[in-house]
A and B are shown apart, each in its own frame.
Chain A
Amino acid sequence: MTTPPATQQTQGSESPRTGPGDEPGTNSVLVWLLRIASALILPLLVIAFFFAFDFLRDEDANKALQVVVAVIAGVGGVWGMYWGMDQLINRLPERTGRAVRPFAFVGPAMAILSFYLVYPAVNTTVISFQDERSKAFVGLDNYIRIFTESTYQVAIRNSLGWVILVPIAAVGIGLAFATMVDKLSRRTESITKSLIFLPMAISFVGAAVVFAFVYGFRPEGFGNQIGILNAIWTNFGGDPVNWLAQQPWNNLFLMVILVWLQTGFSMVILSSAIKGVPEVLLEAARIDGASEWQAFWKVTIPSISSTIVVVWTTVLITTWKVFDIVFVMTGGRDGTQVVAQQMVTEFFTFRNNGLGAALAVLLFIAVIPILIINVNRFRSQEATR
Chain B
Amino acid sequence: MTTDTLVKKRESRLSRLPIYLTVGVIVTLWTIPSLGLLINSFREPRSIRADGWWTVFGEIFNSATWTLENYRVVLDEGFSNAFANTVAVSIPAVVIPITIAAFAAYAFAWMHFPGRNLLFVIVVGLMVVPLQMALIPILRVYTNLGVTGTYPAVWLAHAGFGLPLAVYLLRNYMGSLPSSIIESATIDGADHFKIFSNLIVPLSVPVLASFAIFQFLWVWNDFLVALVFLGIDPEVRVLTVELADLAGRGEGALNLLPAAAFVTMIVPLAVFFALQRFFVRGLTAGSVKG
Q: Is B161 an interface residue (CB 8 A)?
A: yes
Q: Is the CB of A180 within 8 A of B22?
A: yes
Q: Is B208 an interface residue (CB 8 A)?
A: no
Candidates B88, B111, B126; contact of A105 at CB < 8 Å: B111
In the complex, what residues of A have CB within 8 A of residue B150's CB?
51, 56-57
Q: Is A196 an interface residue (CB 8 A)?
A: yes
CB-CB under 8 A for A268 and B280, given A7-B172, A11-B117: yes
Q: Is A119 an interface residue (CB 8 A)?
A: yes
Q: Is the CB of B48 within 8 A of A209?
A: no
Whole-angstrom distance from the CB of B209 to the nearest CB of chain A?
A: 12
| Chain A 299-348 interface residues, beta-carbon cutoff 8 Å to B | 314, 317-318, 321, 323-324, 327-328, 340, 343-344, 347-348
Q: Is the CB of A2 within 8 A of B95?
A: no
Candidates B50, B168, B176, B284; contact of A223 at CB < 8 Å: B50
Q: Is A210 an interface residue (CB 8 A)?
A: yes
Q: Is B57 an interface residue (CB 8 A)?
A: no
Nearest chain B residue, comparing its CB with the CB of A70: B88
Nearest chain A residue, comparing its CB with the CB of B91: A71
Q: Is B144 an interface residue (CB 8 A)?
A: no
Whole-angstrom distance from the CB of B96 to the nearest CB of chain A?
A: 5
Q: Is the CB of B136 within 8 A of A353?
A: yes
Q: What per-residue 1/0 map shows which CB atoms of B149-187 lie under 8 Å from chain A?
A: 111100111011101110111011101100100110110
Complex Cα distance, B140 from A124, in Å, reads: 11
Complex Cα distance, B163 from A56, in Å, reads: 25
In the complex, what residues of B have CB within 8 A of residue A165's CB?
none
Candidates B20, B111, B137, B264; contact of A203 at CB < 8 Å: B264
Whole-angstrom distance from the CB of A256 to the nearest CB of chain B?
A: 10
Q: Is the CB of A181 within 8 A of B126?
A: no
| Chain A 166-221 interface residues, beta-carbon cutoff 8 Å to B | 173, 176-177, 180-181, 183-185, 188, 192, 194-206, 208-214
| Chain B 1-33 interface residues, beta-carbon cutoff 8 Å to A | 3-4, 7-8, 11, 16, 19-20, 22-23, 26-27, 30-33
Q: Is the CB of B156 within 8 A of A47?
A: yes
Whole-angstrom distance from the CB of B184 to the nearest CB of chain A?
A: 11
In the complex, what residues of B have CB within 8 A of residue A183's CB?
8, 11, 16, 19
Whole-angstrom distance from the CB of B181 to the nearest CB of chain A?
A: 11
Q: Is B131 an interface residue (CB 8 A)?
A: yes
Complex Cα distance, B207 from A225, in Å, reads: 48
| Chain B 216-273 interface residues, beta-carbon cutoff 8 Å to A | 217, 220-224, 228, 235-236, 240, 243-244, 247-248, 254, 257-258, 260-261, 264-265, 268-269, 271-272
Q: Is the CB of B20 within 8 A of A212?
A: no
In the complex, what residues of B have CB within 8 A of residue A228's CB?
32, 36, 52-54
Whole-angstrom distance from the CB of A37 to the nearest CB of chain B?
A: 15
- Which one of A13-21, A140-148, A238-246 is at the interface? A13-21
In the complex, what residues of A have CB within 8 A of residue B11's CB?
183
Q: Is the CB of B155 within 8 A of A209?
A: no
In the complex, what residues of B have CB within 8 A of residue A296's CB?
none
| Chain A 116-132 interface residues, beta-carbon cutoff 8 Å to B | 116-121, 123-124, 127
Candidates B20, B54, B132, B288; contact of A314 at CB < 8 Å: B288
Q: Is A137 an interface residue (CB 8 A)?
A: no
Whole-angstrom distance from the CB of B259 to the nearest CB of chain A?
A: 11
Q: Is A154 an interface residue (CB 8 A)?
A: no
Nearest chain A residue, comparing its CB with the CB of B161: A116
Whole-angstrom distance from the CB of B119 to the nearest CB of chain A?
A: 6
Q: Is B143 an interface residue (CB 8 A)?
A: no
Q: Is the CB of A12 within 8 A of B96?
A: no
Q: Is the CB of B257 within 8 A of A209?
A: yes
Q: Is the CB of B103 within 8 A of A108?
A: yes
In the complex, what residues of B have CB within 8 A of residue A71's CB?
87-88, 91-92
B interface: dominant SS: helix
Q: Is the CB of B30 within 8 A of A263?
A: yes
Q: Is the CB of A19 within 8 A of B160?
A: no
Whole-angstrom distance from the CB of B46 to the nearest CB of chain A?
A: 12
Q: Is the CB of B186 within 8 A of A19?
A: yes
Q: Is the CB of B151 within 8 A of A113?
A: no
Complex Cα distance, B254 from A292, in Å, reads: 49
CB-CB under 8 A for A106 and B104, given A74-B151, A120-B138: yes
Q: Is B128 an interface residue (CB 8 A)?
A: yes
Whole-angstrom distance from the CB of A172 to the nearest CB of chain B?
A: 12
Complex Cα distance, B227 from A205, in Å, reads: 12
Q: Is the CB of A105 within 8 A of B23?
A: no
In the complex, what residues of B have CB within 8 A of residue A102's CB?
107, 111-113, 116
The 5 lowest CB-CB distance pairs between A and B, nearest first, are A116-B160, A74-B92, A203-B221, A50-B152, A109-B104
Since A67-B88, A74-B95, A327-B244 are in contact, a sample of 8 more A-B pairs with Cβ atoms closer than 8 Å, ordered by chain A residue number, is A6-B172, A20-B185, A21-B186, A177-B23, A192-B27, A195-B27, A228-B32, A344-B224
- A residues in contact (CB < 8 Å) with B: 1-3, 5-12, 16-25, 27, 47, 50-51, 53, 56-57, 59, 63-64, 66-67, 70-71, 73-75, 78-79, 82-83, 86, 90, 99, 101-103, 105-106, 108-110, 112-113, 115-121, 123-124, 127, 173, 176-177, 180-181, 183-185, 188, 192, 194-206, 208-214, 223-228, 231, 260, 263, 265, 268-269, 279, 283, 314, 317-318, 321, 323-324, 327-328, 340, 343-344, 347-348, 353, 356-357, 359-361, 363-364, 367-368, 371
